[in-house]
Amino acid sequence: MSTTFKTSERFVDEMVDERCTVDKSKSFYDKPTIRTWRIDPGVDPAINQKSMEYLARLEEVRSLIGNTPLLQVDFSYRGKRRTLFAKAEYYNLSGSIKDRMAFHILKKAYLSGALKPGAMIAEATSGNAGIAFAALGSMLRHPVTIFLPDWMSEERKNLLRSYGANLRLVSHEEGGFLGSIALAEDMHEKDPDVFLPRQFDNTDNCEAHYLFTGPEILAQMQRLNRVPTTFVAGVGTGGTVMGIGRAIRAVNPQATIHPMEPSNSPTLSTGYKTGAHRIQGISDEFIPSIVHLNELDSIVQVDDGDAIIMAQKLSRNLGLGVGISSGANFIAALKLLESMPEQQAASASVVTVFVDDNKKYLSADYAKEEPIKPGYLSPDVELTNVLAVR
């Protein structure tokens, strides 16, 4: 456990991406000349030259993504003093953790030649990924088409439109989430230049978190004299839990890594969609191919009402305006602490992510009074303090 992690994305990138050479005689602010990328041989030289320009443009906005704060949240649960750690991912460019995978997938796609300069980017998404691709697409001058189940929040739809994305809403009758994926594939089949990030199957999604989010967490925890012992995160594509989990295990092989799912719709446990739930962004009707449950520890289930009350409490009592899946991640982390013997719980370093902020949920049940039901943990949580480290 002696590995030292540096928070700088540049450090990690230089370390792991052998296709990048960095001119160390130039200062960090001399971008974009600081980096030279080697695009895969075989890519048409004319496209190669243009892709270099797009890669340079990506570099110019790199500092808008990642290097988010890590929060230490102190609270009591039924009189017991507890602490958990959460990466505040709503500080990213478009307001969610998804900017990281969008940035990384686009970078890798320019390098492989899969994404041609100026080509259409099309993705099926329950919201945040689409918003991330729409924002980066707008910055890089790519048209973006998003296939979105029509029951997602109005804020998500309007945000996508505000970033200039073409929005194609998909109804339950058209197949919902799976129908959205099929429509994106269809678009690519008709025009092979349309780039599909395919976030549910693309291992670059996990890699973004393995190379960046995970090492940042490890470095920030190190600054608090901690090593993560437990990590838990809700599963949409699974990129977050797989990538951060692998990075944490590289430093602490004993760490347990837990996926979280809504108890109202336990897709991971059953393998298929079983019911409606209100934790937008996770449990999308199927188990994505990048999720390897055999690498993970027990699945934690959270009731969506409990998640809503917890998210409301984080905002009201601690000033942390987070979304519903962040409330769910908090409850999941608490459930794991509750499953430990007292001495272990008191010293455990349980880490999770606050995926996005509350602004996308102001037309959802988040902004309403949520009834307390038996079995909820949130009513017995008293939030006491938050400490942030960069």
Ligand X SMILES: Cc1ncc(COP(=O)(O)O)c(C=O)c1O
Q: Does 127 bind ligand X (CB under 6 A)?
A: yes
Compute the distance between CA of residue 326 and CA of residue 357 in angstroms, rounded to an integer: 8
Binding mask 11-40 for ligand X (x = CB under 6 A): ------------------------------
Residues 68 and 47: their CA atoms lie apart, in Å, by 34
3-class state of residue 224 by DSSP: coil
User: Residue 194 CB, nearest distance to ligand X (Å)?
Assistant: 21
Select 125 or 230, whichever has its Cβ closest to ligand X.
125
Which residue type does 196 have? L
* 313: annotated active-site residue: no
Tell me the three state secondary structure of residue 4.
coil
Please give the structure tokens belonging to residue 220: 């920030």
Q: Could you tell me which stretch among 135-143, 228-236, 294-302, 333-341 binds ligand X (CB under 6 A)?
A: 228-236
Residue number with CB closer to ligand X (59 or 123): 123
Q: Is residue 129 near ligand X by the rule CB under 6 A?
A: yes
Known active-site residue 325:
yes
The least CB distance from residue 355 to ligand X, in Å, is 4
Interface with ligand X includes 117 (CB under 6 A)? no
φ/ψ of 95, rounded to 5, equals 95, 15
Q: What angle do CA 139, 143, 148 make, to 5 degrees?
A: 105
Which residue in the list 98, 116, 313, 360 is annotated as catalytic? 98
Single out the residue of 82, 87, 98, 313 in contact with ligand X (rule: CB under 6 A).
98
Q: How far apart are CA 212 and CA 87, in angstroms?
A: 12
Ranges within 313-342 binding ligand X (CB under 6 A): 323, 325
Chosen residue from 331, 355, 364, 383 binding ligand X by CB under 6 A: 355
**Phi and psi (nearest 5°) for 144?**
-130, 130
Which contacts (CB < 8 Å, 24+ apart) does range 183-189 have? 183/124, 183/147, 184/122, 184/123, 184/124, 184/145, 184/147, 187/120, 187/122, 187/145, 188/122
CA pair distance 268, 351, nearest whole angstrom = 21
Q: Which is nearer to ligand X, 129 or 337 (CB)?
A: 129
Contact 230, 256 (CB under 8 A): yes
159-188 residues in contact with ligand X (CB under 6 A) are none
The pair of three-digit structure tokens given for residue 43, joined into one six-digit string: 């890519």
Residue 239 binding ligand X, by CB under 6 A: yes
CB 203 within 8 A of CB 233: no
- DSSP annotation of 294: G
Which one among 236, 245, 262, 321 touches ligand X, defined by CB under 6 A? 236
Spatial contact of 59 and 34, defined as CB atoms under 8 Å apart: yes
Residue linked to tokens 């478009």: 94
Task: Assess 202 for contact with ligand X (CB under 6 A).
Answer: no
Q: Quick one: 55 or 88, whose CB is closer to ligand X? A: 88
275-314: which residues touch ligand X (CB under 6 A)? 280-282
DSSP E strands: which ranges in 30-132? Answer: 35-37, 70-77, 80-88, 121-124
Residue from 325, 326, 349, 378 carrying the catalytic annotation? 325
Q: How far is the CB of 324 from ligand X (least distance, A)?
A: 7
Q: Is 262 in the site for ligand X (CB under 6 A)?
A: no
* Structure-token pair, residue 61: 């906005």
What number of chain residues touch ligand X (CB under 6 A)? 20
For residue 314, how many C-alpha atoms fall within 13 Å in the half-sphere facing its CB? Answer: 31
Question: Is 68 among the residues that bind ligand X (CB under 6 A)?
Answer: no
- Among the listed ranges 12-20, 61-69, 124-132, 160-168, the one in contact with ligand X (CB under 6 A) is 124-132
Q: Does 156 bind ligand X (CB under 6 A)?
A: no
Q: Which residues bind ligand X (CB under 6 A)?
A: 96, 98, 126-129, 234-240, 280-282, 323, 325, 355-356
Residues labelled as active-site residues: 98, 325
